[in-house]
Amino acid sequence: MAKGVKPRVKVPKKAAAGEAITIKTLISHKMESGQRKDDDGNLIPRSIINRFTCDFNGENVIDVTLEPAISTNPYLEFAATVPEAGEFKFTWYDDDGSVYEESKKIAIG
């Protein structure tokens, strides 16, 4: 497991039913591209987050496939519809098999 991986997500606490909200996510990860070489000229093996998904009450909002060309600390911003009160679930999948999860509740009001 890569060290120091910390997901951060920004979701409004409240929304009107059916409202479109903007979600911002960032996860600290070095996203080693597999193109760089270390001081001895050896290739540093690839180690990235290769997939990100966001679901709301079990329904999919977005599913992103990430490639090595995504910057360090992958940042994603997208829009979601909130039909009812519930919970957003965010999942990041690492190359090494680790899965990082984060969830945020949202209320209607």
Partner 1 sequence: MKLTRRNAMVMGAGAFVALGLPLRASASLADDAIATFTGGAEMADSGITLTAPEIAENGNTVPVEVSAPGAAEILVLATGNPTPAVATFKFGALAASQTASTRIRLAGTQDVVAIAKMPDGTFAKASSTVKVTIGGCGG
Binding site for partner 1 (CB under 8 A): 20-21, 33, 35-37, 55-56, 59-72, 74-81, 83
Residue closer to partner 1, measured from CB, 33 or 102: 33
Kindly tell me which of 65 and 101 has the beta carbon lying closer to partner 1. 65
For 97, the 3-state DSSP assignment is coil
Of 84 and 99, CB closest to partner 1? 84
Q: Are 52 and 38 in contact (CB under 8 A)?
A: no
Q: How far is the CB of 102 from partner 1 (least distance, A)?
A: 17
Q: Which amino acid is at 88?
A: F
- Minimum Å gap between C-beta 14 and partner 1 is 16
- Closest separation between CB of residue 44 and partner 1, Å? 9
DSSP class of residue 84 equals S
**Does residue 21 contact residue 79 with C-beta atoms inside 8 Å?**
yes
**CA gap 46, 96 in Å, rounded:** 10
Query: Closest separation between CB of residue 103 and partner 1, Å?
Result: 15
Nearer to partner 1, 42 or 71 (CB): 71
